[in-house]
Structure 1
Amino acid sequence: MPKLTIDGREIDVESGTTILQAADRLGIEIPRFCYHERLAIAGNCRMCLVEVEKVPKPVASCAMPVADGMVVRTNTPVVRKARQGVMEFLLVNHPLDCPICDQGGECDLQDQAVAYGSDRSRYEETKRAQPDKDYGPLIATHMTRCIQCTRCIRFAAEVAGTPVLGGLGRGEHLEVTRYVGQTVSSELSGNLIDLCPVGALTNKPAAFTYRSWELRQTETIDTMDGLGAAIRVDSRGNEVIRVLPRINEDINEEWLGDRSRFACDGLKRQRLDRPYVRRDGKLTPATWPEAFAAIAARLKGLEGSAIAAIAGDQTDAETMAATKDLLTALGSGNLDCRQDGAKLDPSARASYLFNSTIAGIEQADALLLIGTNPRIEAPVLNARLRKRWLEQGLSAAAIGPKADLTFAHDWLGDSPALLAEIADGRHPFLATLKAAKHPALILGQGALARTDGAVMLGLARRIAEAAGMIREDWNGFNVLHTAAARVGGLDLGFVPGPGGRDLAAITAGAASGAVKALFLLGADEIEMGALGDAFVVYLGSHGDAGAHRADVILPGAAYTEKDASYVNTEGRLQRTRRAVFPPGEAKEDWRIIRALSEVLGHTLPFDSLEQVRARLVEINPIFAHPGSLNRAAWEPFGIAGTPEDRPLASILDSYYMTDPISRASSTMAACIAAFGGGCNHHRAGHHA
């Protein structure tokens, strides 16, 4: 390992490390604009110049590998003069529009100009101007501010896998733009805004609505998909202004999908802010006591078997635990957290987890995708798969939707019969899996949310065992969930009890009259027309399909408005933190269930969040350890049989609208208008 000296301090680093990376490890700050630790080195901006002993000129530290015995000085008069020269050139054409720039207050150029800028300009010529580009409904462009760092170009090509940006012209005439006929339609495009060190790319939906120092920052987690990315919610007053990613190497690194980032405007539209009761066929505003009285009157005298509950995709664990306890007290075992009808097996935890972990999938060298399109179901995970493929280490194949996944893979077809062929060794891809050191498969909800989902689950288990995916040091069997609530619901046992009904039986019972009362916990994806004359109580945050069908509406809180627990697709317990308060008379969901239980005569034995969380731990000990992962025991699951001859497809047909929040978002509606369903998932192809 080379040993070098930086500003009089010695450090040993791995061969190939750059001077800038070595200085970062010592905590020595070197300014930079073009360098980013997750992107290829460009060496464009020259702001990171340092002095190296025996080298006649300052060198760019981001592109200079260390050498044994190297002596580096980062803060000499020569270095300072060089950086001041670079800054003067950067500001030659830069517009002095900081007062109206959305990047003001969090701009790298602004910060470095304080340290290295001059108090006067020697430039007398006319400043160069560039026309703004159309990057779609999410990114506002002010290209006159661009300093040609090329971070956006490198991100689009390397991480997102959609190489649609490039540079035209040379020298002063260089401009970053789209290729002819291309749109910036990646599901990760919002990360370009974070990467831009100046105000050339900014948040279009929130343009000119905030200043960074006005915002209150709350660190929480995302519930718009099953990954549970680390996010920061920036709010002003009681309004969420923007959502940004936080660094979490285990889950999202520092990226975030566009739906999670930009659908936040849906949090203030079509909100339920007061209880409603249906009178004479029309929903009318009511008080909380009136709403509870209406529920109590309809439940009075009902047998437990006539009462049911379905949990939606963003229901928190506290609410599901409280609802399960209430229905148990009422004598009902009719519960289901699988509102898409997925045939997941709650008795074997390994059967519904992403067992290799999200970060661990980067070890996989052979991968089989079954009934999933990770690019629209979990774009941040898809970026990890592309990262693994770029390392020349991934042989991938897909059975299911034909799609452009941004990494090379063989599309084997969409017939479920292919799974049986692989499991029985009659397909050559089993040999590829067997030959790999870390074989893996990803089973999507598109394969599980079918009437033969349990057969598909059994076939996937057989493939995992036949390919040697299950070992002491590795479990390559992965289920990719699209719902933030799903794993938590399965861990809590929010599934049919003995003799209880599952989703299909609940809806059939509601249609036949056997189920007379139904609680929907933010469940909007089920077929509302199939519920017959059942009395429907909807507990949720938005006026979506469930609220339109409901007989009583109880206004709940969205994920930014409550302290709540969720378990992500890999089985990691995480917690949201309240950034703003629910609107109007809306309350945290579990508190509503607790208050209702009192009116129904079955008072639940908890009054505080701590007591509810203690109840979670009683039900399942995994709720005692936020952030930790425990490997699940491998047990038999799934059933034997022949799958139906229906093509496998993704559970999602649109990336941008999947839940009540994104459906209420005008930004997501603009994305649908501009890009269609998202990611051109009807097209197939591979990007190098």
Structure 2
Amino acid sequence: MGALTLKVFSDELREWEFIEGEGIDPTDSFGVNLRLSIRENQVFLAEPNDPSTPWLTDKGRLFFEGMFDDSSTSMTNWESFFSDISELMYFIDHLNLHKRDVFSLIFAFENLSLETLNILYLLKQSCSLVELRKVDSHKGLNDFESDYQLNSSTEKAKLHLSTLGILVNTNPRYEGYVLNLSLRQRFLKGNFKLFNVGSVLDLTFPTYNLGSNFNVLKHLAEGTHLACQDVKNSEFPVIITNVELFKRSDAKIFTEVLKHVSVIDAAWNSTNVLNHNIGSAGIQSLSKFLPLSTEDLISFFGLYYINVSLGSTANMKKLIELHLLNIFQSKNTLLNKCFIDQNSVSVNEETYEKGQHKLFNNYFYLPASLFLEDNETYINTQGFIKRTTKLINFKKDSKTNWQITRKFYANSKSIAFFNNTKDNNLINFDCVNSFNFKNYTNFQFYAVQTLTSFSSYLTKKNKPFVKSSSPLLSTKTKVLNTKLKGWLDDFFNSNGKDSFSYNSYTLVNCSKIVRTSTTNFF
């Protein structure tokens, strides 16, 4: 089963002493449902709760085991922080009014829930001093859901029809084990090849490595590669890549090259993008946020990081190191810049010490709640809505990301802006209650089925808009109730009117397909 069991579970604890709860695995982009056993605000047992995915990876086990850190931190004076940051914003607004250069407060985030992301988006709309940036440097498209998430071609029912899969710069065994299990099941049923463009992988089943550079795609487009014959003869090919591909400057021509070899079919819509974390699809579904760049580190008076570990982010490490080497010099810079770290653990204090007196002068640490200490909503890489419930209360002095951001949003309403006076006259939603705020964001930014107070909880999956060359209005077919229709119903649907229909060749083949699709390799 791959369950997490701490050492004290078998020696000191008993099952009847636990409180059962439901959660999700936050270590990948699928968010597999888990069954959690909790005692004294700690998770002692985590097991898969989804019959279709009876698996839990090493990352999931290590996450729940190392999530509870007893390291004590100093108490945070929340009122003093919000008072100081409001005064700083008021001063910068006056400074921007008299100077030509505009300084801004940059919010850099990663892996956020939909509630926190939407309140940040409302803050950006109501305050011109705020700029939103994502930490990842990829510039992928988000015009359609198929540009940033997995589509229906990776589902088991449709994957059974495919005879060819192409992996481009991705490792599904590490990045999305649910997808890797589906590919393995499809391979063991036969008549399926999997090509890999990238590093040599061990996916627990054979793959064919075509190379590790973009020249492979060039040869495929020119028709000079040995795999072109397999691509030409394949049925419903599936292409799987990840967001790392879009960090390249030439990534925009990726789909255009594959169109020349007829790998992408508009009706099949077989391009799939595998995300790294569970919050990536939700971030791209709301808006196209720009990545943090060198220009942002010149014209800013504060950097506000939310759920960001600078030590594990290559883009941020590179930008800060270049800035400390005085690569980016500007005559009009502020000396009193602040560094705000909103995270569950103070992991960025070392980075602040490197840039102290050069890049930053003030440091604020805001303790955020842990993963299971708040009711949050995410969109996974398949487009399904994943929700978490509050199960523990481990950190006493911390606040949730939504509470901190909402307080920041409320304080910005009390500031009288002079540089952009329109910010004082905007009508904004009063988001005191999180339940009403979820309904508001569903009405405002997402497609809902009903206009009820429970619409945010009734939504199970986003509705992808698929590009198609066919007209939007489908043609209607008129079917007459004739004898031929009855014969066809007997032959294909087995309505029982004809005894020969039970032994028809078509029905026998359909039965074989159904039995094959329902088997697995376990």
Common fold: TM-score over 0.5: yes
Q: In the alignment, which of 41, 55, 64 is matched to residue 238 of structure 1?
A: 41
Distance 1:242 1:358 in 2: 31
- Counterpart of 1:390 (choices 188, 191, 196) is 188
1:353 aligns with 2:149: yes
Are the structure 2 counterparts of residues 404 and 464 from structure 1 closer, same or farther at C-alpha, using a change threshold of 3 Å?
Answer: farther
**SS of the counterpart of 2:11?**
coil
Tell me the residue number matched to 1:487: 281
- CA drift at 1:590: 0.8
Q: Identity across aligned pairs (percent)?
A: 20
Measured after TM superposition, the shift of residue 238 of structure 1 is 1.2
Q: In structure 2, the residue corresponding to 1:268 is in which secondary structure?
A: coil
Of residues 454, 460, 477 in structure 1, which corresponds to 2:271?
477
RMSD of aligned alpha carbons: 2.9
The amino acid across from 1:553 in the alignment is Y
Provide the rounded CA distance (Å) in 2 between the counterparts of 1:431 and 1:477: 20
Provide the rounded CA distance (Å) in 1 between the counterparts of 2:349 and 2:232: 47
Aligned pairs (5 A) from 1:622-633: 622=447, 624=456, 625-633=458-466
2:319 matches 1:530 = yes
Q: 1:203 to 1:471 in 2, by over 3 A?
A: farther
Deviation at 1:465, TM superposition (A): 7.0
Query: Tell me, what secondary structure is at the counterpart of 1:551?
Result: strand
2:197 corresponds, among 396, 399, 418, to 399
Q: How many residues align?
A: 411
User: Structure 2: 5+ residue runs without aligned partners?
Assistant: 94-101, 324-334, 353-361, 415-427, 449-455, 470-522
When residues 628 and 400 of structure 1 are mapped into structure 2, their CA distance, relative to the original with a 3 A threshold, is same
Shift of 1:577: 1.3
Contact map agreement 1:270 1:543 (CA 8 A) in 2: no
CA distance in 2 between counterparts of 1:418 and 1:224 reads 32
SS at match of 1:595: helix
1:64 aligned residue: none
1:330 is the counterpart of 2:120: no
- Paired position in structure 2 for 1:593: 405
Q: Which of 333, 344, 358 is equivalent to 1:541?
A: 344
User: Does the aligned pair in 1 maintain the 2:164–2:193 contact within 8 Å?
Assistant: yes
Structure 1 residue identity aligned to 2:319: A
Q: Mark the CA change 1:608 to 1:528 in structure 2 (over 3 Å): closer, same or farther.
A: farther
1:391 counterpart letter in structure 2: K
Q: Judge conservation of contact 1:367–1:433 (CA < 8 Å) in 2.
A: no
Distance apart, 1:379 and its partner CA: 2.3
* Cα contact 2:36–2:47 (8 A) shared by 1: yes
What's the counterpart of residue 498 of structure 2?
none
| Contact in 1 for aligned 2:264/2:270 (Cα 8 Å) | yes
Matching residue within 497, 505, 509 for 2:295: 509
**1:239-260: CA deviation from partner (whole Å, max 9, x where unpaired):** 12222111153xxx22221211
Alignment CA distance shift 1:503-1:214 (3 Å) = same
2:217 aligned partner: 419
Distance 1:236 1:547 in 2: 34
2:341/2:348 contact within 8 Å kept: no
Deviation track 1:629-683 (CA, whole Å, cap 9, x = no partner) reads 52332389xxxxxxxxxxxxxxxxxxxxxxxxxxxxxxxxxxxxxxxxxxxxxxx
| Higher relative contact order (CA closer than 8 Å, sequence separation 6+) | 2
Match of 1:401, SS state, is: coil
Please give the secondary structure, in 1, of the residue aligned with 2:82.
Answer: helix
Q: For residues 2 and 46 of structure 2, what CA distance do their matches in structure 1 show?
A: 14
Measured against aligned partners, the alpha-carbon deviations of 1:263-289 in whole angstroms (never above 9, x if no partner) come to 212221166x76xxxxxxxxx643110
2:307 and 2:342 in contact (8 A); partners too: yes
Per-residue CA deviation, residues 592-621 of structure 1 (Å, 9 max, x unaligned), is 111122223368621122122123213422
Match of 1:187 in 2: none
* CA distance, structure 2, for counterparts of residue 465 and residue 218 of structure 1: 50
Normalised TM-score (structure 1) = 0.55
In 2, the alpha carbon distance for the partners of 1:192 and 1:319 equals: 32
Structure 1 segments unaligned to the other structure (5+ residues): 1-190, 195-201, 275-283, 497-501, 637-688
1:605 matched to 2:430? The reply is yes
Counterpart residue number, 2:467: 634
1:436 Cα deviation after fit:
2.2
| SS in structure 2 of the partner of residue 325 of structure 1 | helix
Equivalent residues in 2 for 1:422-437 (5 A)? 422-437=220-235
2:305 is the alignment partner of 1:520: yes
Q: 1:463 to 1:205 in 2, by over 3 A?
A: farther
2:389 maps to which residue?
577
Indicate conservation of the 8 Å contact 2:166/2:240, yes or no.
yes
The one-letter amino acid paired with 1:467 is S
Question: What is the rounded CA distance, in whole Å, between the counterparts of 1:618 and 1:311 in structure 2?
Answer: 24
Q: Which structure features the higher share of helix residues? A: 2
* Matching residue of 1:618: 443
After TM superposition, the structure 1 = structure 2 runs for residues 159-178 of structure 1, keeping only pairs within 5 Å, are: none
The reply on whether 1:343 has 2:139 as its aligned counterpart is yes
Q: 1:423 to 1:535 in 2, by over 3 A?
A: farther
Between the aligned partners of 1:609 and 1:248, the Cα distance in structure 2 is 32
Instruction: Quote the Cα distance in structure 2 between the aligned partners of 1:240 and 1:462.
Output: 48
Does the aligned pair in 1 maintain the 2:384–2:462 contact within 8 Å? yes
Give the Cα separation in 2 of the matches to 1:462 and 1:376. Answer: 27
Residue equivalent to 1:229: 32
Aligned in 2, Cα 1:241/1:466: closer, same or farther, shift over 3 Å?
same
Q: Which residue of 1 aligns with 2:179?
A: 381
- Label 1:381 to 1:285 Cα distance change in 2 as closer, same or farther (>3 A): same
Q: Indicate how the Cα distance of structure 1 residues 585 and 465 shifts in structure 2: closer, same or farther if over 3 A, else same.
A: farther
Q: Normalization by structure 2: what TM-score?
A: 0.72
Q: Is the 8 A contact 1:572 1:629 kept in 2?
A: yes
Residue 518 of structure 1 aligns to a residue in which SS? strand
Alpha-carbon distance between aligned partners in 1 of 2:110 and 2:279, rounded to the nearest angstrom: 7
1:294 corresponds to: 84
Match of 2:169 in 1: 371
Aligned match of 1:269 in 53, 69, 79? 69
Aligned to 2:109: 311
In structure 2, C-alpha distance between the alignment counterparts of 1:218 and 1:465, rounded to whole Å: 50
Q: Secondary structure at the match of 2:297?
A: helix
- Paired with 1:461 and 1:247, the residues of 2 have a C-alpha distance of 38
1:467 has 2:467 as partner: no
Q: Do 2:18 and 2:38's aligned partners in 1 also have CA atoms closer than 8 Å?
A: yes
> Which 4+ runs in 1 deviate beyond 6 A?
none
Q: CA deviation at 1:585?
A: 1.4
Shift of 1:402: 1.4
